[in-house]
Structure 1
């Protein structure tokens, strides 16, 4: 084979590999709640998403290195596109990333950006509770979120995290704020999400509580 033909073949191979890599679907990784620091005993969920939708994908998870896959153990579960750590320990802190895998081409998605969080001993500045104390309610029902801390938390606000974004947690016609509490009446599916309360500066926050609002099912 002549030198020019060999060079052209090498160039074609390099371009093809580069193009194949560039065409891999992008992968996003989000943290719920979106806190860089949580406390021992709290729950944190990492959610992986592949460009174009999640149909047909399963997800691979890594901690601190691509050579360190995350496995399911007690209190650490992989369900669909999410990896959930309940009762977090200091050993859970670190850098996490994920990618999608499937049987069709392309076999993999790109590796996501890294998400880092730390786990500290102690407890949050404030405590968020639900009344009634059920994490799952049905549409049309009422639930009250209360934010309590020593010395009062009237200057703290409520936050909600859903669909990958953060928003005010007590701001629509179905919610009313009174002192340290926020009441959601006529709950809708859109009220599902992760809730917490935080100081006016945003530097301090309570524990996070996940609320799920399900549609009522009727049997005859």
Structure 2
């Protein structure tokens, strides 16, 4: 008996499948090995499967198919009948309308032109459709022309129609049209300081000015450090870095209509200074008169909005103590000697400048000071040794550092005694001293 070769059909379209079944009509199916020829040539080599599934993806797969069977235990071979497979071309593609727009933004008080077309064919009329994200689709009535003008934002599409009964093309792709409101928007900075430093925190606000429609708005930002999606918040707060410098713009749209918006605001340019500012401390004078005071002034050049912290320490090696903090006034009066410095702070969270350089303030005391010669000689001769003493009345028990002014000396002593060995004529003159109280 001849081997049987079967399929479900002899006519196939592209992307369909055909299954060949090779039946030897003798013995068990597992007694055989199978192969398939196409148009007299081997298509599938011998294997143990009597069924073979073929995906149709080309017209060249059409032809005459035949199967062969060979027993495993011998060289005995059987040949099947021939099966003819025909692959049909795809069905004609239904035309699709194409929707184009000269611009997708409707200017204030204006409109835009939409054009619908069907390529390489004539005789079409057109149907137009509009919807939004919150409203269902409606057909625009009495608009069969290929061009229409629209003044309302939304999602537009079209299709072509012709003949009787009417034949419809596939719907065009959607085109989003946005309407521009007359309201103007502006970007403002808070705090509104003329100079911003890296590390400070600022807020940019998108404000919708009056003059157009009054509505509930949402906002979109364009800039180096701003979100690109629509948000209900009209401000963005960030810590300034080098990458923050650049232009910032915003626009607004109605919350209930995502296809209507204002124009972009004018660019707000942020230029962040990369170097941290340093406070500068100046003193009215460096010596506090007895019973008086000295005015100190702290400033930060080229910027505004600062408050000031004031520090004092007794000596270079001692720890600075905060005297006053968050002072709005840039000047203070001090009546105590020491080493002073200041710094500026502004914003929330507070941004601090570098500390100023330290300024030394000395305080004069009311103690009376006299200079006496150790020996009350009325006449001094060349070659003698003398000692001049500095006495501070009322300063007993305190530690003083002495400063001398005297003729013919380059390195006066810092102690209370000025000793001169081998006096010469050049040592004649006035001798003065003052005491500096050691802390």
Task: Identify the TM-score tier after normalising by the shorter chain.
Answer: 0.3 to 0.5
Q: Which has the higher helix share?
A: 1
For the pair shown, the structure with the greater C-alpha radius of gyration is: 2
TM-score (norm 1): 0.37
Normalising by structure 2, we get a TM-score of 0.20
> Larger relative contact order (C-alpha < 8 A, sep ≥ 6)?
1
